[in-house]
Amino acid sequence: MTDTLINFFTDVLGGLPKELIIFIISMVPVLELRGGIVAASLLGVSITKAIPICIIGNIIPIPFIMLFIRPIFDRMKKTKLFKPLVEKIESKSLSKSDKIKQYEFLGLLLFVGIPLPGTGAWTGSLIAVLLDIKPKKAVLPIFLGLILATLIMCTVSYFIPWLIKTL
């Protein structure tokens, strides 16, 4: 699914500079930094350019999620049309929150940092809000999780392909 989304964005945004494409991909939920790094590698963007672009792209939505998602969800739940959608998003996010509740800092860091489907900074931020973790306590583990995800994704997208070519 991630490959399909990356291909979609690179096709749709094809006329834009490669750096802007990976920046946009890094801001999109589901793809986030992981998709941005993979897209950067596929588009031939150097790792030294890709890392800061993807990290910044993935960080930008986080404060907005942490500050505004609760009032937005509360307002949407008052409508017949959006209430089921919001409840589904909340339920799905909270179903992944057991380890975060138990280990808070480390749980949030690993949730954001280990690139598995349904994890990442967007969902981590949403879970932090739903669990009433204060933004001051959530920002550092989310940021460190992004660094961990960057290391893992750069290894998979840049180092391993380079190693295979070298051997």
Q: What's the full length of the chain, in residues? A: 167
Q: Residue with structure tokens 């959530």?
A: 138
Dist CA 12 CA 21 (whole Å): 9
pLDDT at 1 over 60: no
Give the CB-side neighbour count of residue 29, counting CA atoms within 13 A. 11
Burial of 104 (0-12, 13-18, 19+ CB in 10 A): middle
pLDDT digits (tens, 9 = 90+) for 2-17: 567 777 877 888 789 9
pLDDT at 67 over 70: yes
140-158 residues labelled b (16+ CB within 10 A) or e (exposed): ebbbbbbebbbeebbeebb
- Please, which pLDDT band fits residue 104 given cuts at 50, 70 and 90? confident
pLDDT digits (tens, 9 = 90+) for 114-156: 998 888 999 899 999 999 999 999 999 999 999 999 999 999 9
Taking each continuous run of H as one helix and of E as one strand, the counts in the chain are 10, 0
Q: Tokens representing 62?
A: 């986080």
The pTM for the full model equals: 0.87
Give the CB-side neighbour count of residue 13, counting CA atoms within 13 A. 18
Contact of 23 with 48, CB cutoff 8 Å = no
Give, in degrees to the nearest 5, the angle at Cα 141 between 58 and 134. 100
Dist CA 150 CA 167 (whole Å): 24
Q: Please tell me the predicted confidence (pLDDT) of residue 2.
A: 59
